[in-house]
Amino acid sequence: MSAKDTFFKKRESIKIQGEIFDLSIAKVMGILNVTPDSFHDGGLHNLAEAALLKAEQMVAEGVDIIDIGGQSTRPGAKQITADEEWQRVAAPLQAIRSKWPNLPISIDTFYAEVAERALDAGADIINDISAGSLDKKMFAAVAKLQVPYVVMHMQGTPQNMQKSPSYHVAVAEILRDLSKNIASLRSLGVNDIIVDPGFGFGKTVAHNYDILKNLSDFKILELPLLVGLSRKRMINEVLKTTPETALNGTSALHAFALERGVNILRVHDVKEAKEVVTLYQTMQNAT
């Protein structure tokens, strides 16, 4: 254990449905996109029946959290309204909650209105790519709802974030921005905060690998850490793969992330991510 690890005591739990949700062993968050245009699985699960089948597969594979999203946030994606987003996520969310009453469900949205409606329908966590920047009502809504909130770093918006991302020192600037948002949330009484450095959201491939290399620096925030690396461009540009052929690269990056203290892996492929976690924990427990 390094001196840095000894000095910083990272929080490794959140509260879900009134119970402590332990994150000391990394959890797998399965992505359920009910959108027609997401970069990897757009159009595959945008009917309630198809979404339920995908959820059944993820549950069978050991998923810890399901993250439901109704709006594509890939680079250049067209933004839809809160009403359109809710129409996409409402039926799948209600069907999944009905079938698995105790399964933690996250709603992937930057709209406070959608977050509130989703929580009323049974969601447990808000996952906001914009850290409140795309809907100024979001932080107040999170404070009112008192649920775990994923605060992610993004430079720009999905429409322009990959045009010319620029940092002087990427990790330091991301930590600064996240710290400001965490302070704002805490001033409103929000306690259960999860940090996401935002791989691919306003970052070049070089920025992404700099962040990955230095992920342990995020322990300074003393909060659970979530990463979304699954099948992303940072893999495909290096390995000359496509999102459809990037599973092996994804698993490799997941192992690197776990080694650096990540608590939640947000993934398309639950079975393979759970295997990475199991192997990592077996190594950690070896005598």
Closest-CA residue to 37 (of 96, 78, 83): 78
Cα(242)–Cα(116) distance, rounded to whole angstroms?
A: 36
| Catalytic residue chosen out of the listed positions 27, 219, 232, 274 | 232
Cα(14)–Cα(22) distance, rounded to whole angstroms?
A: 7
| Catalytic residue chosen out of the listed positions 219, 233, 266, 274 | 266
Contacts 24+ apart (CB under 8 A), 141-145: 141/112, 141/115, 141/116, 142/115, 142/185, 142/188, 142/190, 143/185, 143/188, 143/189, 143/190, 145/115, 145/116, 145/119
Tell me, yes or no, if 231 is annotated catalytic.
Answer: no
Locate 120 and state its tokens: 């009323």
Cα-based distances in Å from 267 to 31, 48, 68, 111, 164 = 6, 20, 12, 22, 26
Tell me, yes or no, if 117 is annotated catalytic.
Answer: no
Residue 273 Rama label (left phi>0; alpha psi -120 to 50; beta): alpha
Question: Which residues are known to be catalytic?
Answer: 232, 266
